[in-house]
Amino acid sequence: MTDHALDAEALRERAVASLITARDRTTLLTSCVEAPDLTAQHSPLMSPLVWDLAHIGNQEEQWLLRAVAGQEALRPEIDGLYDAFEHPRAQRPSLPLLPPEEARRYAADVRGRALDVLEATAFDGTRLTEAGFAFGMIAQHEQQHDETMLITHQLRRGPRALTAPDPDPAPVFTGPAEVLVPGGPFTMGTSDEPWALDNERPAHRREVAPFRIDTTPVTNAAYQAFIEDGGYAEPRWWTEEGWAHIRRNSITAPLFWRRDGRQWLRRRFGVTEVVPPDEPVLHVCWYEADAYARWAGRRLPTEAEWEKAARHDPAGDRSMRYPWGDADPGPEHANLGQRHLRPAPAGSYPAGESPLGVRQLIGDVWEWTSSDFAPYPGFRAFPYKEYSEVFFGPQYKVLRGGSFAVDPVACRGTFRNWDHPIRRQIFSGFRTARSEAV
């Protein structure tokens, strides 16, 4: 067997495993509650779970059965129902959606056919099939909706429906609070990661001035100090838009927090618990992250700064796939894949540390950056403009690094996420930075 054939077989096995892992997660998220919870809309910010289930199947059908294999549409009449751009989330419960059992059968039928297509597809044809890209794209798409569905579970009222073991306890982190990232150029983005999405491309050189960045994400205890110091009542820490937003919506703490006497409690997947002081703060919007950073005499890192801290290896002057190197993530590196349903304590995963000594850059919480979502020089939309291009602009802020809800297939050192600066239901946190005097 040739090296090329071996590579193709390895890619095929990776694609099969990624698709199966995603479907197992989808099945768990949609089978742990009864039909009324699947069809209900638990928040106007989110779709009913049953919409996500059929949308996953519809996207898989459109790209793997129709675009890759050239097959006739199985259910062309439902394409519009599951077009994310045609119907805002708040309107989706009123649509004639497939009921739960029919949605399951449809998604399962598409999956069986897709695996047959995967077995018969050569990985050296069109750009869509090169290195199995279309199959990787669909696995990532499903895992992204699995994270979306987990957010819906967090917003859902009622008893706990999901359980998972907690991360291993970690000793209180006693390392340096920040590390220096030296100035100079580095390679940002990628041109050779086979399943990287269009907004991660192409690789390009970026100059970054020296700066210091937090060794770990900002913790609940640190954020509570901001609250106790009157951070939500002091307009000087907030942008004009941010101040208007928190006043208009009476925001005084992270989402799902409430004060009980002298302590803070939070609701997490149907259970009320004391806010753990050593965990990274979760469910804060960009405005809150930015205000905290100002209060602390610091700022949010730019997207380029974040990526340099996460990928740059000064010893070899190269950019790695992950902070720890080029190896795929393992459980020793990061908190990913909904293996746990909470962030790990700050300072966890020393094996995932970057060469510069920064921890937890991958997993645990999505980290807000100061940057607007914008294309890289030489960007080309692929395979459709609606994945990235229509979102470019100052109305979206970039988040990096992934959360505990993200699967490794949809999380890389180059992976880019984005959202409105008001969003708090997402699994978002942050770390801060400051410029280094030169």
**Rounded to whole angstroms, how far apart are CA atoms 122 and 133?**
11
Q: 374 Cβ partners below 8 Å, 6+ apart?
A: 392, 393
Amino acid at 125: G
Hey, what are 411's tokens? 């999380």
Please give the angle made by the CA atoms of 2, 126 and 12, to the nearest 5 degrees. Answer: 45
Question: Residues 128, 134: contact at Cβ < 8 Å?
Answer: yes
Residue 438 has what pLDDT? 64
Hey, what are 77's tokens? 């009449």
**Rounded to whole angstroms, how far apart are CA atoms 300 and 306?**
9
**Rounded to whole angstroms, how far apart are CA atoms 48 and 41?**
5
CATH domain 3-155 topology: Four Helix Bundle (Hemerythrin (Met), subunit A) (1.20.120)
CA nearest 225: which of 292, 300, 294? 292
Cis amide leading into 383 (omega within 30): yes
CA torsion 299-303-308-309 (nearest 10°) is: 40
Q: Phi and psi dihedrals of 388, rounded to 5?
A: -130, -45
Question: Residues 194, 8: contact at Cβ < 8 Å?
Answer: no
Hey, what are 376's tokens? 């890289």
Q: 331 Cβ partners below 8 Å, 6+ apart?
A: 339
**Rounded to whole angstroms, how far apart are CA atoms 145 and 151?**
10
CA nearest 388: which of 201, 206, 148? 201
SS3 41: coil
Sequential pLDDT tens for the chain (438 residues): 344 455 888 999 999 999 999 999 999 999 999 999 999 999 999 999 999 999 999 999 999 999 999 999 999 999 999 999 999 999 999 999 999 999 999 999 999 999 999 999 989 778 999 999 999 999 999 999 999 999 999 999 999 999 999 999 888 899 999 999 999 999 999 999 999 999 999 999 999 999 999 999 999 999 999 999 999 999 999 999 999 999 999 999 999 999 999 999 999 999 999 999 999 999 999 999 999 999 999 999 999 999 999 999 999 899 999 999 999 999 999 999 999 999 999 999 999 999 999 999 999 999 999 999 999 999 999 999 999 999 999 999 999 999 999 999 999 999 999 999 999 999 999 999 999 986
* Strand arrangement of the beta sheet that strand 416-419 belongs to: 416-419, 393-400, 366-373, 428-429
Residue 4 has what pLDDT? 44
> Is the four-CA dihedral 117, 122, 125, 130 of positive or negative sign?
positive
CATH domain 165-438 topology: paralog of FGE (formylglycine-generating enzyme) (3.90.1580)
Hey, what are 80's tokens? 């519009």
CA nearest 312: which of 122, 179, 167, 124? 179
> Is the four-CA dihedral 170, 173, 175, 180 of positive or negative sign?
positive
**Is residue 263 within a helix (H) or strand (E), and if so which, with residue range?**
strand 263-268
> Count of CB atoms within 10 A of residue 125's CB?
10
Q: Which residues of 360-397 are buried (b: 16+ CB within 10 A; e: fewer)?
A: bbbbbbbbbbbbebbebeebeebeeeeebeeebeeebb
Please report where in the chains the tokens 């999901």 appear, as a residue: 162
Residues of the chain with CATH 1.20.120.450: 3-155
Distances, alpha carbon 388 to alpha carbons 107, 194, 286, in Å:
25, 18, 20
Q: How many CA atoms lie within 13 A of 290 on its CB side?
A: 21
Question: Residues 304, 206: contact at Cβ < 8 Å?
Answer: yes
Q: How many CA atoms lie within 13 A of 276 on its CB side?
A: 15
Amino acid at 182: P
Please give the angle made by the CA atoms of 279, 419 and 275, to the nearest 5 degrees. Answer: 20
Question: Residues 65, 121: contact at Cβ < 8 Å?
Answer: no
Pairing outcome for strands 318-319 and 366-373: unpaired
Residues of the chain with CATH 3.90.1580.10: 165-438
Beta strands in 293-332 (DSSP E): 312-313, 318-319
**Rounded to whole angstroms, how far apart are CA atoms 56 and 111?**
10
